[in-house]
Amino acid sequence: MSAINEFLLKHHLRIAQNPCVSPDFCLDWPSLQKSFADPAAAGLVFHPKSTFETAAGTWTLVEQAATGDCAWRLESRTLSDPSRVLAEGVSTKPGRAAFPATWVNLLKLKNLIQEHDAGSTIFPTAGARLGRSTLGVGARFTTLHWPAVEWAMSALEIGLTANQNSIPRELVYDVDAMLGNRLDTVPFPFIGTNVPEGHQGQSVEGMSHGCVLSKLKTGFHRRRIAWSFNADHQPIGGKFDVREDALVKGCLLASYITFDLSPELALNQKADLATIPAEVVKQTRARVGAALDAARGRAQGAPLQDEEFNQLLATVWTPMQKMKRRDEKYAAARAAAFTTDVGRTYLRELSIDELPGLTTPETTAIMLALCEVLGMPVNFVAPAFGFQKNTPYPDNAALKKLIEAQWNVCKQFNVSIGFHSGSGKSAENYQVMGSVTGSALEIKTSGRYTYEMGVALSQSRNPADAALWRDWYQFTVDMAVAGAFSADATEQKMARLFVTTSLAAVGASLDDARGRAQGAPLQDVFASPATCRAALEALPPSAEHMIFFEYNFLYVLAAGGRPEKAALGDHTPAGYQQRARFYAVSAETRLLFSKRIAAYLIFLAENTGLATKERCAATSKLLASYATLEAMLNDISR
């Protein structure tokens, strides 16, 4: 038994309450296989919509309801011993076998499925229009949103990037490193501390596994709509050089890789131009010149400023070399593990929004040209537009000009634009993005879905849900008050901004909300921690408050739910027991949450032009009709 499975079993952290921590979706195979052998055994769920075919026979996903442990049942009319198809198989009846849902078996099953049916959509792929137009659906704290995403894809009949996470920032990249307390930390300046990597708690392999099983349980795979899994912000260079093999290994099922060059760029080590192959320089210069000529509508051969070109080339050459090395490792890992072209192909995105300032068209052109010349053309590029998370862009005319300048370059390379920090923009913002690019884009959203859970919990009539909402909201109040009086200047500045924005946004008199005399100075709220707390606690608890939006994701793995820096991102049993609270929410909250997730995706699809207004209107009407979660999920497979 693996160390991570031993850890989870020892501390009673089962998949049903804590999914996607282990790469495996079966922690205790000996116990589960006894249930197959016992005709009177209760508690096994044979998911009827999960069935699919391979050359070996018919497969069904089986789940032990109490624990969440899963297995594969194979029924074969041709094999004399079907128990040999996957590892650890047992015969249950003549022509029938069962196998644990392990990571190893999942990888083998991917090959069997795609060898039999190259058009299968059980696993994430790079197919259909996923490399041209998509929405990136991040999972910043749980996996509870997956069925709603599947419903939206099915109803809208469009494929999305249905699983997306930053690795190793958000997901545990190596469960053994986690158990050995060897995870690095990630700086969060707005709370004045570093939080351990993988602050969501789940592993990258666990998420990869879980998102496949989710689509089988709902029968989404029957719709044959392609979807993708984005390993977002894969860090290139810098301190990540020493563990890039582990990052590659963990992301094996990702069908879409975002290359983040910022760790190497931060070293600011410019290359000697004389060391760059002359042919690379020549080809890149020519490609950049042609692209900029076409983008600007000027005569071919108009001079390119040598100084600017050389400076940018020297700055990015080493990071691009390391991106090339990483890309070769991603390709080699897939070639070794998978047997089909569809199983090996993946999309690429180049993230350049980490470079200082707004991205210039010249920078975009050089980066895209280098990707082409080095043999790793990208599907998406993410320039910096000055977006702030969950904040609309204030000037649509200015936004249109910024996007047009980038799009005029990108279309010369047949590359779509990735809009990072895409949550919380206005309908008009999204319409500008869609119209300028002709919907050749990806909108990356993540924090929005944590917020939607807050809204759902706040509206639930279930007592346990109400208690979770109360505790979660209070955590954000406590974090804001502590931050507002922190000795760390950045933490204090940001916390006070969150506090004053939350107070101002309520709409009622700030004087009344703070309980102060009319005309008293605004700084009164920060006279002491007590006055700050009193002002915030005078507000009705709401997921709309900025304090909630900014701090909410830190609660999921906070040991004991404590608003203390040392408790955040806790990968001990205390952190995972906290995480289990979210997976215990009622069916009422799950329905509220799922409908809000689906409504937001419909809103994005309509305003970016990924789906027609007519289709979105009909889909919204269908969504509004559901009175139960069961009815909503039942329609996914249609």
Residue 348, helix vs strand vs coil:
strand
Reduced 3-state DSSP string for 495-546: HHHHHHHHHHHCCCCHHHHHCCCCCCCHHHHHCCHHHHHHHHHCCCCCCCCH
Q: In whole angstroms, give the CA distance from residue 69 to residue 28.
A: 7
Using alpha carbons, select from 210, 64, 63, 71 the residue that is nearest to residue 149. 210
Burial of 93 (0-12, 13-18, 19+ CB in 10 A): exposed
Beta-bridge partners for 187: 194
Beta-bridge partners for 71: 62, 100
Which residues make Cβ contacts (< 8 Å) with residue 57, sequence separation at least 6? 74, 75, 76, 77, 78, 79, 82
Q: How many CB atoms lie within 10 A of CB 516?
A: 18
Q: In whole angstroms, give the CA distance from residue 410 to residue 380.
A: 9
Which residues make Cβ contacts (< 8 Å) with residue 597, sequence separation at least 6? 145, 148, 149, 152, 449, 452
Q: Indicate if the alpha-carbon torsion angle 481, 483, 489, 494 is positive or negative.
A: negative
Q: In whole angstroms, give the CA distance from residue 406 to residue 296.
A: 11
Q: Average pLDDT for residues 316-329, to the nearest whole number?
A: 97
DSSP 329: H
Q: At what angle do helices 278-296 and 361-373 cross, to 10 degrees?
A: 130
The CA dihedral of 276, 280, 283, 287, to the nearest 10 degrees, is -80
Q: What phi and psi values does residue 342 have, to the nearest 5 degrees?
A: -65, -30
Residue 533 is encoded by which pair of tokens? 């707390």
Q: What is the pLDDT of residues 12-45, one digit of tens each?
A: 999 999 999 999 999 999 999 988 877 666 789 9
Q: At what angle do helices 103-116 and 204-218 cross, to 10 degrees?
A: 50
Instruction: Indicate the pLDDT class of residue 604, thresholds 50, 70 and 90.
Output: very high
The overall longest dimension of the chain from CA atoms, in Å, is: 86
Using alpha carbons, select from 573, 475, 484, 590 the residue that is nearest to residue 529. 484
pTM of the full structure: 0.95
Residue 601, helix vs strand vs coil:
helix
DSSP 203: B
* Mean pLDDT lowest among 216-220, 369-373, 419-423, 556-560: 419-423
The per-residue pLDDT of the chain, averaged, comes to 94
Domain assignments of the chain as residue spans, ordered by start = 3-116, 134-449, 463-584
Using alpha carbons, select from 222, 213, 215 the residue that is nearest to residue 52. 222
Q: In whole angstroms, give the CA distance from residue 367 to residue 305.
A: 16
Q: In whole angstroms, give the CA distance from residue 2 to residue 233.
A: 28
Which contiguous run of DSSP H or E holds residue 419?
strand 416-419
Provide the terminal-to-terminal Cα distance of the chain, rounded to the nearest Å: 39
Q: Average pLDDT for residues 238-253, to the nearest whole number?
A: 97
Q: How many CB atoms lie within 10 A of CB 289?
A: 18
Residue 317 is encoded by which pair of tokens? 């050459």
Structural contact between residues 489 and 511, judged by C-beta atoms closer than 8 angstroms: no
Q: What is the pLDDT of residues 569-591, one digit of tens each?
A: 999 999 999 999 999 999 999 99
Q: In whole angstroms, give the CA distance from residue 612 to residue 621.
A: 14
Q: In whole angstroms, give the CA distance from residue 351 to residue 331.
A: 19
Q: At what angle do helices 396-410 and 361-373 cross, to 10 degrees?
A: 30
CATH 3.20.20 fits 134-449, yes or no: yes
CA angle (366 as vertex; 362, 372 as ends), nearest 5: 145
Q: At what angle do helices 587-608 and 613-624 cross, to 10 degrees?
A: 170
Instruction: Indicate the pLDDT class of residue 467, thresholds 50, 70 and 90.
Output: very high
Alpha helix segments (H runs only) across 297-426: 306-337, 341-344, 361-373, 396-410
What size, in residues, is the chain? 638
Q: What is the pLDDT of residues 134-165, one digit of tens each?
A: 999 987 789 999 999 999 999 999 999 999 99
Beta-bridge partners for 259: 234, 350
Using alpha carbons, select from 455, 478, 477 the residue that is nearest to residue 544. 455
Which residues make Cβ contacts (< 8 Å) with residue 288, sequence separation at least 6? 304, 309, 362, 365, 366, 369
Q: What phi and psi values does residue 148 have, to the nearest 5 degrees?
A: -65, -35
Q: In whole angstroms, give the CA distance from residue 70 to residue 495.
A: 44
Q: In whole angstroms, give the CA distance from residue 344 to residue 252.
A: 9
Using alpha carbons, select from 370, 348, 366 the residue that is nearest to residue 257. 348
Given a cut of 90, whether residue 189 has pLDDT beyond it is yes
For 157, left (φ over 0), alpha (ψ -120 to 50), or beta?
left
Beta-bridge partners for 231: 165, 257
Q: In whole angstroms, give the CA distance from residue 473 to residue 14.
A: 27
Which pLDDT value is given to residue 298? 57
Residue 156 is encoded by which pair of tokens? 């809208």
Residue 635, helix vs strand vs coil:
coil
Given a cut of 50, whether residue 327 has pLDDT beyond it is yes
Reduced 3-state DSSP string for 142-188: CCCCHHHHHHHHHHHCCCCEEEEEECCCCCECCHHHHHCCCCCEEEE
Q: In whole angstroms, give the CA distance from residue 481 to residue 454.
A: 20
What is the gyration radius of the CA atoms in the chain, in angstroms? 25
DSSP 360: P
